[in-house]
Amino acid sequence: MDNPDEDGASLQSNGTKSGRKGKLGKFGSLKKSIKWVADKSPLSVGTRKSTSDDAEGLPSTSSPSSTGPSSPASSSRNGGGFFQNQEDNLGHAASPKSKALTRSKTEPSMSKLGDSFLKKGSSIRRSLRFGIKKENDKRLEPLEDVLVERTEGKNEKEEDIPEEMDELYTLPDLPDPPLSVMEINKLIEMEVLEEAHLNLLALRLELQKEQEAGVEDCSTKVAQKQKDLSLLYGNLRSKIHEIVRDSSTRPARNKGLLVPVARIIQEEEKRAGEPGGLPDSWVEAWKDAVCDSVQVKVDSVDLEPREQNVSWLAVHLGKLVFSTYVKSYHRVVGQHLKKLEQQSTELKDLYALLDWILNKYKSERIMGSLSLQPDMNGESTDLQLESDFLKQLKDKYVCRVKEDVRISLERVIELENESVWSVSKELEMEDDVLCSPFPMDIWTKVKSSIVNSKQLDVNLEQEVTQTCLEELQNFPKRFEEEFRRHFSAIQPQPLWTEYLVAYINSFTALQKHMDGYHGSCPRQVEAFKGEVASLTARLMQSLEDQFKQDVKLYLRRMVTRKWLTNDDDFHQLLTRTERLSQHCHLLQPPHAQEFASRLHYHVVREYVGQLMKKSYSCKNRKHEKAAAKISKQTGALRDLFSSMNSSMEWLHPVGEDLSTIIGLKNKADIKHHLQPLLEHYPDFSKKHLVAVLFFRGDLGRREHQLILQRLTDLKKGGSGSSCDRSRVLFGDMPVTTNTNCLPGPPFSCLSRILPDR
């Protein structure tokens, strides 16, 4: 007996097929299957031999499955369906004592392929079941009382084989009144099954009406009628069991009875659970009959005792012709696969073909069947394929995967444009990170392709992984090109900043997903990693350039005459920096800290750089007010960038160091406060000090000379001699030349003597 799991798997594999006509139906399939068992069974005495080049004439056996609406009881009892894989024929033909084989369960693990392999690859699977090519593809509307009978036909050596055809069957009107019990039983014995069944249904209807009426006087009559119905149904089932069991041994006698048998089983399955019928399943009874048929046929092969014939085993196997059947299957199926390969262009079809060759053919469902193993000793389970056929098929599959990934990546860009860029949509937060959903889509696509290829072949998995990663290498640049082409017109709007942050995060996440394949494909992963790093750097630079442009005007107005009395420009600078810091917090590590550090350096450098332009010099003790303002503003910037986790802590002292020099009341004390500045910033030179002193103003010629000399002495003494090139602030900071910074020739001469360090 077949178990429910096998039926469930059969139903999955024989589901609705895209672009094909409606399901054949449980009993349309039954009628076709029984006829093939009768006419084409490889164990039948009168079976026809297939020609060597007839790849499509192999026998098939299907079990019935419900068509149209059926009762819930029937569906639940039978595990969801009764389709069996026609791959079972070899086991049916060769096994001396076991059941017909059923389709192996299909469990594809793919995101974007997923269940589509089951649905859309059905044409491949139908071909692999050794069935005759179907001639009629039109779709029929399923009706409750309509059955679709499809038989298959092909003229072979001028012998008649049942043609595949569609039959529309409507249950005739029930006789009223029905025949007597004796007459119905006589019809069953005479094998007038259809008429007998109609009378049984009529008798059953009478019983139901009487039960619903609930008349006490009729209780005895009802009980007797129930007993009669039970006996008649038992006789009918026994007769059907006999007909199905003998279908392969006496095909000529039973051929005309198979269609009524299928109709009766269908009608009874529809009425399962209703009063008057048999409690157990008619389909299960049909399966029992099929198993008995196979057992009877195998048992009929002569097996001479060892004492009578020393070659008893050879004679027995020779009569079964087992080896001949096995080799014929290998050869004919191999030829058929060659035809299918030429027609297979879509990924799902190529996958189905490879899966059948590499996995299913040798599995326990076909050549590895336990029922075949006693006789498979010494027999090869390999298909007879051309030497390079499998390699060509794998290469074709890999190329199709590459094309499929490329199309998917292009579709990602199209969807991003349609759903985001063209409508200026704000992106959503995921786990407190601003990003786009496409990295997960891409990763799912790549992963499903790799997992599916692994189920086929380990070496194929390696090729597919490399192919997917190589195809991904071009994606970052293509994405950036389309993004800038469609959306760059809106910059520097806040939405542009939001998109830049989101895509930096998105590609960082995608790279992390792909890092999982570094062990198997290090070269491809590193190449993709480099492309992502380049894209991220460009997006970060765009973000930085936008900020620089946004604050450029306000930084230029620092340390000027207006700045001394007006804080508006600094407030604008602070506001824009705070706004960007909010986006900075949305960046994933390590980009958030890197970006904050770059902005920190730029703002401090530009702020201090205004001192070097010598555009303003304090008079009348205004240097004290200016020093206090510099200290306060640089402190505010320090706090802001610290909250952004900037790593540029070494920039913090510059404001205090400069404001101290500028704000000292005693001019002579300036030379005593140069050493901390040099220790913090060894690249601070004489020209920078001249600019600071110019801004401070109110210095005489001699004080100026002594301060510069002190700087020279400190540098000669080694203060600030070790300059870390990663901490250069003043080294490349330009200083405006102003020959009028000090009047008279004495300082001009002195400036030529003092080294510029």
DSSP state at residue 167? -
Backbone φ, ψ for residue 156 (5° rounding): -135, 115
Query: What confidence score (pLDDT) does residue 38 get?
Result: 46
pLDDT higher than 50, residue 625: yes
Select the more confidently predicted residue: 220 or 168.
Answer: 220
Within 106-154, where are the H helices?
116-120, 122-128
Which of 213-222, 568-577, 661-670 is predicted least confidently?
213-222
8 Å CB contact between 264 and 194 = yes
Q: Where in the chain is the domain with CATH 1.10.357.70?
A: 557-753
Binning pLDDT at 50, 70 and 90, where does residue 633 land? Answer: very high
Write the pLDDT tens digit of every residue in 470-519.
999 999 999 999 999 887 666 657 788 889 999 999 999 999 999 999 99
- Please check whether the domain covering 389-538 is classified as CATH 1.10.357.50: yes
pLDDT higher than 80, residue 99: no
Mean pLDDT, range 334-340, rounded to an integer: 76
Which of 292-301, 342-351, 411-420, 666-675 is predicted least confidently?
292-301
DSSP state at residue 359? I
8 Å CB contact between 121 and 350 = no
Of 167, 137, 165, nearest to 153 by C-alpha is 165
Mean pLDDT, range 247-257, rounded to an integer: 71
Reduced to 3 states (helix: H, G, I; strand: E, B; else coil), residue 427 is: coil
Q: Which residues contact 236 (CB under 8 A, 6 or more apart)?
A: 188, 193, 196, 197, 200, 264
pLDDT higher than 50, residue 125: no
Cα separation, 643 vs 637, in Å, equals 10
Given the structure tokens 């760059």, which residue do they identify?
Answer: 488
pLDDT higher than 70, residue 197: yes
Cα separation, 400 vs 330, in Å, equals 27
Backbone φ, ψ for residue 197 (5° rounding): -70, -40
Write the pLDDT tens digit of every residue in 507-540.
999 999 999 999 999 999 999 999 999 999 999 9
Instruction: Indicate the fold that domain 557-753 takes in CATH.
Output: Tetracycline Repressor; domain 2 (1.10.357)
pLDDT higher than 80, residue 148: no
Query: What confidence score (pLDDT) does residue 744 get?
Result: 39
Q: Where in the chain is the domain with CATH 1.10.357.50?
A: 389-538
With 0-12 / 13-18 / 19 or more C-beta atoms within 10 angstroms meaning exposed / middle / buried, residue 212 is exposed
Q: Average model confidence (pLDDT) for the chain?
A: 74
Binning pLDDT at 50, 70 and 90, where does residue 554 land? Answer: very high
**434 sits in which H/E element:** strand 433-434
Write the pLDDT tens digit of every residue in 699-732.
778 888 888 888 888 888 766 555 566 788 888 8
User: In one letter, which amino acid is 671?
Assistant: K
Binning pLDDT at 50, 70 and 90, where does residue 349 land? Answer: confident
Binning pLDDT at 50, 70 and 90, where does residue 608 land? Answer: very high
Binning pLDDT at 50, 70 and 90, where does residue 365 land? Answer: confident
Of 167, 170, 103, 169, nearest to 136 by C-alpha is 167
Of 469, 423, 425, nearest to 446 by C-alpha is 469
Of 543, 545, 547, 536, nearest to 479 by C-alpha is 536
